[in-house]
Structure 1
Amino acid sequence: MTHPTSSPTSGTLSQSELAAFADRVWDEEIVPALVSYIAVPAKSPAFDAQWEANGYLDRVVRDAEEWIRSKKIPGLKLEVLRAPNRSPVIFFELPATKAASNDTILIYGHLDKQPEFDGWRGDLGPWTPKYEDGKLYGRGGADDGYAVYASLTAIMALDRQNIPRPRCVGLIETCEESGSYDLPPYLEMLGDRLGQVSLVVCLDSGAGNYDQLWLTTSLRGMVSGTLKVEVLTEGIHSGAHSGVVPSSFRVLRHLLDRLEDAKTGRLLPESFHCEIPHVRIEEAKATAAILKEEVYKRMPWACGADGGSVLPVTTDPLEAILNRTWRPTLSVVGAEGFPEFANAGNVLRPYSAFKLSLRIPPLLDGNAAALQLKALLEDNAPYNARVSFVPDGTPGSYGASGWNTPELSPWLSTAVNAASESHFGTPVGYLGEGGTIPLMGLLQKSFPKAQMMVCGVLGPKSNAHGPNEFLHVPYGKRLTAAVAQVIAAHP
């Protein structure tokens, strides 16, 4: 599909035309493009040390580049930036169609993916796309491969109706799932080319349901790294020596008890917590009233001890929302030093190592939290065991800081609500997210006056990063039209 000509109702926004155009492009072009995209194991650099040699990131970038060029949008400038030893970035520019507009809208997305994980349904897999009942299954489609295609479609939908808009630039990276550590050099390289950014549109977030537009108001930060406890230089007979040699796992467990109350999950150091802004508590109350018990009931709970399901940490919807958006939590996401069951002999293992993922509140500094966590875990090791915590990232930029959206300007507040009413028939919802998008904090520092529209398709059971990840295509269509309508409302 080439760039379409203007409609007879030129200059007058038609929401129905926006919706019809988004539907058609999704069905005819975006879904097929994403089917091809999902089939490529374009894992983020942190999960594929040989990413340059494997060429998967370059392939998905090339496919997206070719799709953008094929639209033949008037005035389009497009390039792929490839700094040495850095994952590639797509940068595109579209000139303003609004007279005397000096503002720029920055559109963000990413094409790198999380690793496979296990537990996929028998007929599904991370690299085997399947479109079924309006859901496109496979790794990366919803997080966040659709963003570049949906954002360009939103712009084309406006240009098709001759709706004036500001200059738009796109920044599509391939390191987001690794913490975006490759991105800052590109931002510095682009410099003034980014322009006077007054609105950031980020299509890499979640939705509380599929019934309305959801605006993300905050993101937690993250500190990840490897905690390793060494007690021996080689494994020895557990029967002969247990009770003399301390178990490396017991030492590791002791260290984690410094950080977390195992009974409640609460992180013990108060410095890992922050005061939750009043406005975010009020938004969480409104969201809890909308979602109610679905906040926790939608999880794929295992069967519990009494035959019922496993219970959540809390059944209070408000507390559940605040727990997953503004309070710190610890997850152990990987382990080393443990043989598989079939090879697990009666041996005291020389070491135990856990990969830790610590989500921190939106207002905490990621690097400072990483250094504090390192000191907490390494100091005064039990039994003088060799303990190391190696945070992911590089010195000075360990961890990822969270983000709290600036106060919405009246125009954006009105626009997102109108877009939700137009394309979902329901007012906009506001929801903090527990995930991390490191770029958002960086962009807010770079463009302190910019408004932020952070949203996405990761709704109930879409399961990004886990098995059976899917993109809810009908929601993606409506989201695309809603984004177009908000861009059209830019003052």
Structure 2
Amino acid sequence: MDIGRTEQFVGRQWDDQIVPQLVEYIRIPNKSPMFDADWVANGYMEQAVDLMVDWARAQAIDGMQLEVVRLEGRTPLIFIEIPAANGGSDADCVLLYGHLDKQPEMTGWDDDLGPWTPVLRDGKLYGRGGADDGYAIYGSLTAIQALHEQGLPHARCVILIEACEESGSYDLPAYVDHLAERIGEPSLVVCLDSGCGNYDQLWCTTSLRGLAGGNLTVKVLDEGVHSGDASGVVPSSFRLLRQLLSRIEDETTGRIKVEGLHADIPGERLDQARRAAEVLDTAIYDKFPLAGAVRPMFPRDAQGAESTDLSELVLNRTWRPALSVTGVDGIPSLSSAGNVLRPHTAVKLSLRLPPTVDGKRAGALLEEVLLTEPPNGATVSLVLEKAATGWNAPAMSTWLADAIDAASQAFFGKPAMYMGEGGSIPFMGMLGEKFPGAQFMITGVLGPHSNAHGPNEFLHIEMGKRVTSCVARVLAEHHHAGTRGETMGSAVAADSGTRHGAHGCC
């Protein structure tokens, strides 16, 4: 591969085509079905599909076949198949994945920014979904085109772009089963929906946390009553809810009390966390807009002393459970709150799980802990919305480790880094089950301050260019490894201690 030529081609493609496409994509409020119950009638998802499909079909890629697959009652899926080229193998397959649905608006955007208002500033494209994960289809096709532009070989490639990832990818298994024969048996999976610790080198994700949670409601009255009359007699629903949350979480340290929600951390992941902490230093927490004198959540020992080991923060966000309350109901705004003892309090719980904790088991534990012996006999309900298992990558083959590092050195001038991510990509667990011998390159552009899901989300354009170039390099090396007869899948696929699924992953 001519590195300079690749950089030029990818750069032109991003500047002339991808960024203008993403500007239009950001304007479309195609929220994931969980956040837009009328998504079919509203038509925004269809607009996003049409935008991407029209661009993809206009690309000059020999033999490319594109179809929008629609299973009844499900979100659409873009399926693209590109035959092997320039001596590559059609018997092998690389699967490239992304999604086109978005998180909801969220409050707190700067006055001159907004979720559906694309703004280009200082090399960043602001707006919802550009980095998470609208760029994936464009980056995937451009990486393949970069190989064609130099006459370089690659194996058959399949691109899947789904439309309900932000809702837990509940439609995707049906599509993967439906398309199983057309997909084949991929030896490499490339996902562009992950994060990066900085914008200075290529970052690859080694694990993803699972997720369990839903709506917890505590009801004490059939209607609100005068607080002066009832307080002291009728228990506060808010206080009882606090009691229930304390069954799960230590309110002083944030540690999850339910031991069944913890998991042993593999030694390799501990080593990777230490190396990541050395590279990132205080950027591990500096990247967050901490208010005032807020301090990060370092663990405490039995005597209450706080650790200063930065790798502990890496492990907190990648291999330890953590609880967030992401929504509240039953509580009026401050401006309309009267002296009323409210009938109920409800919260949306988001419990991040270690990668190897079974999501369904975690959901059952939540129900058991929260619903047993309700305080004061209150009516307590928990409606589980998510119970997804995380993912722990299989051991990386030598060829892929070498290819990823060579790509990072070529396009960043620095070695590649490996770290777990705190978020969830349900597709990875499913692919790990279906293709236990596949290798995984999970990467992305969501770095410091990019704020996916939150206000002022942005896509770092230069990072997008470099990640695209790195994917092209890895696709080329995938072919060469195959021609050298190297093991394409996991070198330890048969080792139940390291293969995905060995610790209860789904």
TM-score tier by shorter-chain length is: over 0.9
Alignment pair present for 1:384 and 2:377: yes
Match of residue 76 from structure 1: 64
Q: 1:312 maps to which residue?
A: 296
Counterparts of 1:32-431 in structure 2, within 5 Å, are 32-97=20-85, 98-303=87-292, 309-314=293-298, 315-392=308-385, 398-431=386-419
Between the aligned partners of 1:83 and 1:233, the Cα distance in structure 2 is 43
* Counterpart in the other structure of 1:9: none
By how many angstroms is 1:278 displaced? 0.2
- CA 1:464 to 1:87, structure 2 compared with 1: closer, same or farther past 3 Å? same
1:213-272: CA deviation from partner (whole Å, max 9, x where unpaired): 001000000012000001110000110111110100111110001000000000001100
1:251-296 deviation digits (Å, cap 9, x = unpaired): 1110001000000000001100000000000001111110011111
2:83 and 2:90 in contact (8 A); partners too: no
SS at match of 1:251: helix
Contact 2:195/2:443 (CA < 8 Å) preserved in 1? Answer: yes
Q: What code does the residue aligned with 1:104 have? A: C
Question: 1 CA distance for matches of 2:360 and 2:76?
Answer: 25
Between stretches 309-318 and 86-95, larger displacement belongs to 309-318
SS at match of 2:471: helix
Alignment of 1:474-485 (within 5 A): 474-485=462-473
What CA distance in whole angstroms lies between the structure 1 residues aligned with 2:89 and 2:419? Answer: 35
Q: Name the TM-score, length of structure 2 as normaliser.
A: 0.92
Q: Which AA in structure 2 matches 1:310?
A: V
| Alignment partners' CA distance in 1, 2:63 and 2:200 | 36
Which of 433, 451, 454 matches 1:445?
433
Distance 1:237 1:216 in 2: 53
User: Are 2:477 and 1:489 aligned?
Assistant: yes
Structure-2 separation of matches of 1:418 and 1:101: 25
* Equivalent residue, structure 2, for 1:469: 457
**Which region of structure 1 is more displaced relative to structure 2, 365-374 or 122-131?**
365-374
Measured in 2, the distance between the counterparts of 1:20 and 1:230 equals: 61
Contact 1:106 1:200 in 2 (8 A): yes
Deviations 1:356-397 (A, max 9, x none): 0000000011111111111110111011111011110xxxxx
* Alpha-carbon distance between aligned partners in 2 of 1:467 and 1:187, rounded to the nearest angstrom: 33
Extract unaligned runs of 5+ from structure 2: 299-307, 482-506
Asked if the contact 1:296–1:317 (Cα under 8 Å) also holds between the matched residues in 2, the reply is no
Q: Distance in 2 between matches of 1:61 and 1:170?
A: 14
Distance across 1 between alignment mates of 2:91 and 2:31: 37
Tell me the distance in 1 between the aligned counterparts of 2:34 and 2:60.
35
What is the Cα deviation at residue 100 of structure 1?
A: 4.5
State the secondary structure of the residue aligned to 2:328.
strand
Q: Distance in 2 between matches of 1:343 and 1:233?
A: 20
Question: Paired residue for 1:8?
Answer: none
SS in 2 for 1:181: coil
Instruction: For residue 365 of structure 2, give the secondary structure of its aligned residue in structure 1.
Output: helix
Query: 421, 430, 449: which is aligned to 1:433?
Result: 421
Deviation at 1:99, TM superposition (A): 4.4
Work out the CA distance in 2 between the residues paired with 1:368 and 1:290. 36
Deviation at residue 412 of structure 1 after TM alignment: 0.1
Does the 8 Å contact 1:112/1:177 carry over to 2? yes
Q: Tell me how far 1:316 sits from its aligned partner.
A: 2.8
Partner of 1:30: 18
CA distance in 1, matches of 2:322, 2:444: 23
Task: Measure the CA separation in 1 of the matches of 2:344 and 2:218.
Answer: 5
Shift of 1:101: 4.5
Aligned residues: 469
Distance 2:60 2:78 in 1: 17
CA distance in 2, matches of 1:91, 1:161: 25
Amino acid corresponding to residue 71 of structure 1 in structure 2: Q
Q: Distance in 2 between matches of 1:457 and 1:480?
A: 10
SS in 1 for 2:276: helix
Structure 1 unaligned runs (5+)?
1-12, 304-308, 393-397
What SS does structure 2 have at the residue aligned with 1:489? helix
How far did residue 72 of structure 1 move?
A: 2.8
Q: 2:68 & 2:90 partners in 1: Cα distance?
A: 26
Q: Output the CA distance in 1 between the equivalents of 2:383 and 2:88.
A: 53
Alpha-carbon distance, 1:301 to partner: 1.1
